Structures are given as structure tokens and as C-alpha cells.
């Protein structure tokens, strides 16, 4: 009987562990120690840049150190799972992206975390749109000219992609425009851009900040940007939507999330701090210099965006005939 009683207690504790931890957090005094932010990618990328930019200023505002931990691997799955499994006490947070919280749910059959239910969204840190660029040898300067060329050469044009977002952005363009192009996958954005610059594959959706320098140098030709609005960095380049494909919009978002069950007052405290940081002139200048848009989300707005992203990318994956891993 004692063994059964002990087992019952253990089961009850396991089931209510997250709630018990959450109840022990004194939100009025939060934070009382360092906060760890897991970036599910290696150093140097956009997720890392935004996280480190925000962390430095958040440390000042919260009165506790905000430490970045890079834990890359498996399309961001390893680091994201680690955050989902941490105690919901506000001391371990994670950076989520379009890939980890929008696309992975459709690209992997056994994702070790639930995109919606395992996390408590706090706020997005930035949005990065893309620019459709072509090698200068390709005889197109507009979306209209590209569509005419592609329809005249079905299955002959190639399009580079260096990651899940760039791959699905190309698939979305392909499906929306009703053209037949061959998408060539590379192991990362850098080799995909190099292949485009060399003319090996003449088209790619490239990051705006990186592509702008190559466009200015004449190494690539800008066709259209992928966002809902023109980019200040490439003000003279129209959007895909205004170039003949109404409703087309693709971008990558990067946001801060906590494990599900984190007390609501803690989420609200962190949201206020993120928004304060994003409004600072020096932070805005640094982020916008890298061609990021700066959203100012409530937790509810961020959650709604994730909930809309998952089925949206699922439709693109299905229509493209991509088989999940």
C-alpha cells in the first residue's frame, strides 16, 4: 500500500509539476537571477543578432543578466525542444522563428515539441523580408518578364534555395504564378547565393541586407521584394504583390518565447521589456540597418501569428508535393 501511495504521489507530482513550478514564481519580484535565452542556431545569423541586441538592453532594464546560449542543429529543433522541456519559471526563454514555429510542423513527421501548445509567446523581435534577385545574364528585370520567360521555357529555369524558408518562398511563388521552375536545394544560404552570383542557378530569394550590397556592385539584379511593403533599403524595388501577384507576401520572423505554463505576469513583464528595448533609438537603428522590420506585438498578437503560420505553410508543403522527413 505504501508503494502504491508513493506511486500515486509521484504521478500527481509529474502531472502538476509545471503548475507547481509556476506557482512558486513570485512575479512581483521577477527576475531575481540571470535569464537564459536559447538561440536554436549557431552564432552570427539573424536569430543570434536579434537575440544579442535585445539581451544587452534587457539586462539593463530587468536588473539581471540575460545570457545567450547557442544550441544549433536539426533545423532549430534541438534548441527549440530544449526550451519546451525547461521549467516554466521565466528563467529559460527561446528564440522562435518562421522555421521552428511555422514550417517545421509540416516538414517533420515526428517533431519533438508542439509548436502551439508547448510555448508561451512573448513578442517578436524582428521580421526579415527577401528580395528576388537574378544573375545579370538572365534577361529579366521585372516579375512580368520573369513569368513570360518561365512560361516560355517550362521546367528549364532553375531557382536556388538555401533553407526551408527560402525553399518554400520559391515554392509559393511558383504555385502562385503557375510556372514550372526547378528548385535547387543547397546546404545553407551562403552556397545558394554563391551559386546565383556565379550564374550556376540564376534566381534566388536572398536576404535584403546581404543582397543589397551585391545588387549595388552589379553582381545580382533586383526583381522584387517579398514583403507587404517596399523596403527602405531597396526603396526603388517594387513588391512581388504590386508587380502582378496580388497577395504574395513572405518573410521570416524571429521572436521570444517561454515554455508553456510560464506565469502570465512574467510573460507580461517580459513583453513590456522587449517593447521598451525595440523602441530605443540605437536598437532601432542597428536592427533597421540590417533591413529588419520592427513589430511591436502583444503576446496575443504573436500567438495569433504563429497559429496562422502553421496551416499556411502546411498548405504550401502539400501543394508542392514535399514529403516530410
Give residue for cell 502546411: 314
3-state secondary structure at position 171: helix
The predicted structure's pLDDT at residue 27: 73
Strands (E), 169-265: 182-185, 203-207, 221-225, 251-259
The predicted structure's pLDDT at residue 164: 84
Q: Quick one: which of 233, 253, 231 has its CA closest to 242? A: 231
pLDDT digits over 126-144, tens only?
999 999 999 999 999 999 9
pLDDT band at 6 (very low <50, low <70, confident <90, very high): very low
Give residue for cell 511593403: 229
Strands (E), 49-114: 66-70, 92-97
pLDDT band at 325 (very low <50, low <70, confident <90, very high): confident
DSSP symbol at 239: B
**Omega into 209 within 30° of 0, i.e. cis?**
no
The predicted structure's pLDDT at residue 200: 95
Same fold: 33-127+251-320 with 129-243 = yes
Please give the model's pTM, rounded to 2 decimal places: 0.87
Phi, psi dihedral angles at 5 (to 5 degrees): -65, -40
Q: Where along the chain do its domains lie?
A: 33-127+251-320, 129-243
CATH of domain 33-127+251-320: 3.40.190.150
- Cα separations (Å) of 261 from 10, 134, 209, 257? 20, 46, 37, 11
CATH 3.10.180.10 matches 129-243: no
pLDDT digits over 35-65, tens only?
999 999 999 889 999 999 999 999 999 999 9
Does the pLDDT at position 7 exceed 70?
A: no
Amino acid at each position: 500500500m505504501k508503494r502504491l501511495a508513493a506511486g500515486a504521489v509521484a504521478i500527481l507530482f509529474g502531472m502538476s509539476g509545471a503548475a507547481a513550478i509556476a506557482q512558486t514564481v513570485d512575479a512581483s519580484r521577477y527576475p531575481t537571477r540571470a535569464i537564459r535565452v536559447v538561440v536554436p542556431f549557431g552564432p552570427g545569423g539573424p536569430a543570434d543578432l536579434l537575440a544579442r541586441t535585445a539581451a544587452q538592453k534587457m539586462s539593463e532594464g530587468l536588473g539581471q543578466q540575460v545570457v545567450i546560449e547557442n544550441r544549433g542543429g536539426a533545423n532549430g529543433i534541438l534548441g527549440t525542444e530544449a526550451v519546451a522541456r525547461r521549467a516554466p519559471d521565466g528563467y529559460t526563454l527561446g528564440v522562435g522563428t518562421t522555421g521552428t514555429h511555422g514550417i517545421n510542423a509540416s516538414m517533420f513527421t515526428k517533431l519533438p515539441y508542439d509548436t502551439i501548445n508547448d510555448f508561451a509567446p512573448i513578442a517578436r523581435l524582428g521580421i526579415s523580408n527577401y528580395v528576388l534577385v537574378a544573375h545579370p545574364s538572365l534577361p529579366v528585370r521585372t516579375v512580368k518578364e520573369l513569368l513570360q520567360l518561365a512560361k516560355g521555357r517550362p521546367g528549364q529555369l532553375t531557382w536556388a534555395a538555401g533553407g526551408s524558408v527560402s525553399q518554400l518562398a520559391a515554392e509559393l511563388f511558383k504555385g502562385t504564378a503557375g510556372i514550372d521552375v526547378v528548385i535547387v536545394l543547397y546546404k545553407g544560404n551562403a552556397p545558394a547565393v554563391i551559386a546565383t552570383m556565379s550564374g550556376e542557378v540564376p534566381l534566388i530569394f536572398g536576404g535584403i541586407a546581404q543582397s543589397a550590397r551585391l545588387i549595388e556592385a552589379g553582381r545580382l539584379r533586383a526583381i522584387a521584394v517579398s514583403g507587404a511593403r517596399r523596403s527602405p533599403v531597396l526603396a526603388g524595388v517594387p513588391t512581388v504583390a504590386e508587380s502582378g501577384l496580388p497577395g504574395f507576401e513572405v518573410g521570416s520572423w524571429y521572436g521570444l518565447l517561454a515554455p508553456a505554463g510560464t506565469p502570465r505576469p512574467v510573460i507580461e513583464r517580459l513583453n513590456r521589456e522587449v517593447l521598451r528595448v525595440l523602441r530605443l533609438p540605437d536598437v532601432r537603428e542597428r536592427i533597421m540597418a540590417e533591413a529588419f522590420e520592427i513589430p511591436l506585438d502583444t503576446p496575443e498578437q504573436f500567438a495569433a501569428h504563429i497559429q496562422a503560420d502553421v496551416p499556411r505553410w502546411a498548405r504550401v508543403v502539400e501543394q508542392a508535393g514535399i514529403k516530410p522527413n
